[in-house]
Amino acid sequence: MSTVTEDRQTRTRQVLLPGRPAKHANALVATVEALTIGLEEQGGLIARMRGTEMLRFRAGTRRFLALTNPEHVDHVLHAGRLNYHKSFEYELLRALLGVSLFTDEDESWQRHRTLLSPMFGRRHLNGLVDLMIEPIQASIDALDAHSGRVEIDMVGEMVELTLNVVGNALFGQQFGRIAHSMSGYVTGGLRFAERLERVFLVAAPPKLLWRAAARTAFTPVPLPPPLHRIQKIVRILDGAVWDLVNDRVEHPTDSPDLLNHLLNAADDDGRLPLKRVRDESLTFMLAGHETTANALSWMWYLLALNPDARARLLDEVDTVLQGRTPTAEDIAQLPWTTACFLEAMRYYSPAWAIPRVAVDDDVIDGHHVRKGTAVIIPVHHIHHDEKLWPNPDEFDPSRFLPGASKGRPRSAYLPFGGGKRICIGSSFATMESVLIAAMFSQKYVFDLVPGHPVEPEATLTLRPRHGIRMTARRRETAR
C-alpha cells in the first residue's frame, strides 16, 4: 500500500511509491480521436487502456491522465479527493441542473450533503416504497391490457417507468404525458451533449463564459438548430419542476415524498432557497431516472441472454413473495434479484467514466500530476478488467451475493462513483430497481426480438444505441 502525506495548507499530496511506466498517446492522434469519437469505450483512447494502468495524452489544449488501477483511483476518490474537483465535462449538466449535490464543490457541497443525507437513509426510503409501487403497478396494468405477447422497446418502457417512479417519490405524483414523451427528448439531448463534449475535450472554454452562454437556454429567445432541441428539453423540465415546487409551497401537504423533505430541511444556516430545491429536484429527477432506466434495460437484456440466471430470479421472486405485492422488508429477502441488478451495473455501467480535474499539483504512484490535468476513470474498462473480475465478460450475479465481495478492491466497482461523493441516491436506485424487477417478474418474462441489433452507445451515459426490442410473455405461457 502507498503512504500518503497531506499538506493541508496547499492540499498537495505526495504518494511515496516508485512509479510504474505510463503510456503516452500521440497528441495529434488523440486530438483527432477526441473530436471524431470522443472517449468511447469501444475504440480510440480508452480502448488503449488495456494492458496499462496509466495513459497520458493531450487533446488540443487539454492534458489528460486515465487511471485503471484501483489504488490510483482510490487516491483520486478517497485520500486525495479534495484535490480533484468535478471536471469541465460536468458544466453541461450544471447548465441544465443548476447547483446541486451533483455539481457543487467544497464547503457548499459538504453542507448540503450533510443536510440531505437523512432523506436517503434506510428508514426514510422504506417509507417511500408505496409511492414507488404505484407507478410500477400502473405500468404492469398497461401491459396486462394487451392480449397475448406484447412487443416493446424496453428502453422506452424503463425511461417512462423510472421517470414516473422518481416523480411519485419526489413530488407525490407521476409525470404522465411528459414521461411518455421523454424518451426521445433524452436520447436526442444526450447524443447532442456527447458531441459537444468532444469539442470540450479539445478546448474547454472559460467557465464564466460558458455559464453565461448556457443561460440563454432558459430565455424566450429561440436558439438555432440543433440547440433548439436542448432548449425545448430545458424549458419543459424547468417549467414542470418549478410548477410542482411552487404549488407545494402554496399548498403544503404531509406526504412523505422527497420534496417535502427538501422544503423542510434546515440547519444552523437556515432552509434551502427555493432555487436550490429546484436544482436538487431536477437533478434527482433527470439523473436518477436516466441512469436507472438504462441499468434496468441492460438487466432485462442480460437476463434474456442468460436463462439460468433468469430462472433463478423467477424462482426467488415466487418463493419470497408468493404472488403478493412486495414490501420494504421483502427487499432484503431477494438477494439474487438484487445481485442481478448490481451485476448488470457492472457489465454495462450507465456512468461509464468518471472525469475529475486536479486543482493543485499532485503525485500518484510516483507520477507527477500537474494542476489542471483532467483525470479520467474509465469505469466500464475497470469493470471488465480480468485482474479484478474473473471471466469479466460473463454475466455472473453471484459476484454480488452477500459475502462475495470480500477481498475485492473498493474501487473495482464504481457504478455510483466512489468516496464521499458516491451518488446519494444509490440506495434509492437499488431499491427501486429490485421492486421493478420483482413485480414485473411475477407476471412476465422478457425475451429478445430476433434480429434486433443491441449495441452500447457511449453518450453521457452508456445506453443501447438502437433500443432493446423485447417480447413480454405472461408467466403462465412462458413455461
375 and 358 Cβ atoms separated by less than 8 Å: yes
pLDDT at 12 over 80: no
Q: Left (φ > 0), alpha (ψ -120 to 50) or beta: where does 330 sit?
A: alpha
What span, in angstroms and rounded, lies between the C-alpha atoms of 199 and 193?
Answer: 10
- Look at residue 357 and tell me whether its pLDDT is greater than 90: yes
Are the beta carbons of 87 and 357 closer than 8 angstroms?
yes
Whether the Cβ atoms of residue 39 and residue 60 lie closer than 8 Å to each other: no
Q: Which amino acid is at 344?
A: A
pTM of the model: 0.88
Q: Which range has highest mean pLDDT (11-25, 129-143, 450-464)?
A: 129-143
Confidence of residue 240 (pLDDT cuts 50, 70, 90): confident
pLDDT in tens, 226-238: 667 777 777 877 8
Widest distance between CA atoms in the chain: 68
**Contact at 8 Å (CB) between 428 and 120?**
yes
Mean pLDDT score across all residues of the chain: 86
Confidence grade of residue 458 (pLDDT, cut at 50, 70, 90): confident
> Is pLDDT above 70 for 469?
yes
In this structure, the number of other CB atoms found within 10 A of the CB of residue 144 comes to: 14
Q: Tell me the pLDDT band of 239, cut-offs 50, 70 and 90.
A: confident
pLDDT greater than 60 at residue 17: no
As a whole number, mean pLDDT of residues 140-150 equals: 91
Q: Are strands 354-358 and 374-377 parallel, antiparallel or unpaired?
A: antiparallel
Band (414; pLDDT cuts 50, 70, 90):
very high
Q: Decide if pLDDT at 166 tops 50.
A: yes
pLDDT, tens digit (0-9, with 9 covering 90-100), for 167-210: 899 998 877 656 555 556 666 666 677 677 777 777 788 877 77
In this structure, are residues 116 and 101 in contact, taking their beta carbons and an 8 Å threshold?
A: yes
Rounded to an integer, the average pLDDT of 396-411 is 95
- The four Cα atoms 303, 308, 311, 313 give a dihedral, to 10 degrees, of -60
Q: Which of 30-39, 237-246, 378-387, 446-455 has the lowest mean pLDDT?
A: 30-39
Which of these ranges, 27-31, 129-133, 303-307, 442-446, has the smallest mean pLDDT?
27-31
3 state SS for 3-54:
EEEEECCCCEEEEECCCCCCEECCHHHHHHHHHHCCCCCCCCCHHHHCCCCE
Who contacts 136 (Cβ-Cβ below 8 Å, separation ≥6)? Answer: 161, 165, 435, 436, 439, 440
pLDDT score, position 288: 81
pLDDT at position 16, please? 33
Cα 237 to Cα 91, 179, 180, 284, 428, distances in angstroms: 18, 11, 13, 12, 21
Confidence of residue 125 (pLDDT cuts 50, 70, 90): very high
Q: How far apart are CA 28 and CA 59, in angstroms?
A: 7
**pLDDT(115) > 80:** yes
- The identity of residue 267, as a single letter, is D
> Helix H segments across 117-226?
122-126, 129-144, 154-171, 176-202, 207-214
- The whole-number pLDDT of residue 273 equals 96
> Backbone phi, then psi, for 447, in 5-degree steps?
-115, 150
pLDDT for position 11: 33
**What number of other Cβ atoms are within 10 A of residue 15's Cβ?**
21
pLDDT band at 224 (very low <50, low <70, confident <90, very high): confident
Q: What is the mean pLDDT of the segment spanning 242-265? A: 94
Q: Which residue has the higher pLDDT, 153 or 217?
A: 153
Cα–Cα distances in angstroms (integers) from residue 291 to residues 210, 220, 425, in the given order:
26, 30, 11
Q: Which residues on adjacent β-strands are paired with residue 456?
A: 464
Domains and CATH numbers, the chain: 3-478 (1.10.630.10)
Place of cell 436507472: 292
Residue 129 has pLDDT above 50, yes or no: yes
Return the DSSP state at 334. -
Q: Quick one: which of 258, 237, 139, 135 has its CA closest to 185? A: 237
